[in-house]
Amino acid sequence: MQTWIMYAILSMIFAGITSILAKYGLQNVSADLGLGIRTATIFFIITAINLIGSKYKAVVALTTKETLLLIASGIATTLSWLFYYRAMKDGLVSYVAAIDKCSIVITLLLSFILLKEPLTPKILLGGGLIFAGTIVLIWKW
């Protein structure tokens, strides 16, 4: 198995665990405070990884464009997490997580348009099924 596939599977597993832990953790705190605690934890772990691995030295090689794109990604992540935690606080974790994962459809569309990645029938079918599954979950019968 290729390394990136293993990383993606581990990401999937931990993302699923994250939603459950967040729902339990938000019982007696605001969504914004819960997100703040999560974000601070992430900051300290990632900072340690970069310091221990001396990866921070590569910052001088960053171009202005790369820096701005990474900052924009950070802003998008912040907005995503802010709304995710607010939805998680009040909603059913099974619905919130499923709707959130429909972001895959947005990613697929943008990867075709902006990154010029190949659009295959397999990807179209998979993305369509994800979108259809999300509609089934949120549709009021």
Q: Looking at residue 98, what is its pLDDT?
A: 87
Q: Give the domain extent around 31.
A: 3-101
Task: Tell the burial category of 111 from Cβ atoms under 10 Å away from its Cβ (0-12, 13-18, 19+).
Answer: middle
Model confidence band, residue 58 (pLDDT cutoffs 50, 70, 90) = confident
Q: Is residue 11 part of a domain?
A: yes
Q: Looking at residue 137, what is its pLDDT?
A: 84
Q: Which residues of 62-101 are buried (b: 16+ CB within 10 A; e: fewer)?
A: eeeeeeeeeeeeeeeeeeebeebbbbbbeeeeeebbbebb
Q: Is residue 63 part of a domain?
A: yes
Q: Is residue 97 part of a domain?
A: yes
Least confidently predicted of 83-92, 99-108, 131-140: 131-140
pTM: 0.84
Model confidence band, residue 1 (pLDDT cutoffs 50, 70, 90) = confident
Q: Is residue 41 part of a domain?
A: yes
Q: Is residue 116 part of a domain?
A: no
Quick: pLDDT tens for 70-86. 999 999 999 999 999 99
Q: Is residue 51 part of a domain?
A: yes
Number of independent structural domains in the chain:
1
Which three-class secondary structure string do you get for 65-95? HHHHHHHHHHHHHHHHHHHHHHHHHHCCHHH
Q: Which residue has the tokens 């699923």?
A: 16
Kindly list the distances between the CA atom of residue 25 and the CA atoms of 6, 18, 19, 20, 94, in Å, as whole numbers in the listed order.
28, 10, 10, 9, 16
Q: Looking at residue 141, what is its pLDDT?
A: 67
Q: Is residue 140 part of a domain?
A: no
Dihedral sign for Cα 94, 99, 104, 107, please: negative
Question: Rounded to 5 degrees, what are φ and ψ at 62?
Answer: -70, 135
Residue closest to 112 by CA, chosen among 97, 127, 96 = 127
CA torsion 6→102→119→78, rounded to 10°?
-70
Q: Is residue 59 part of a domain?
A: yes
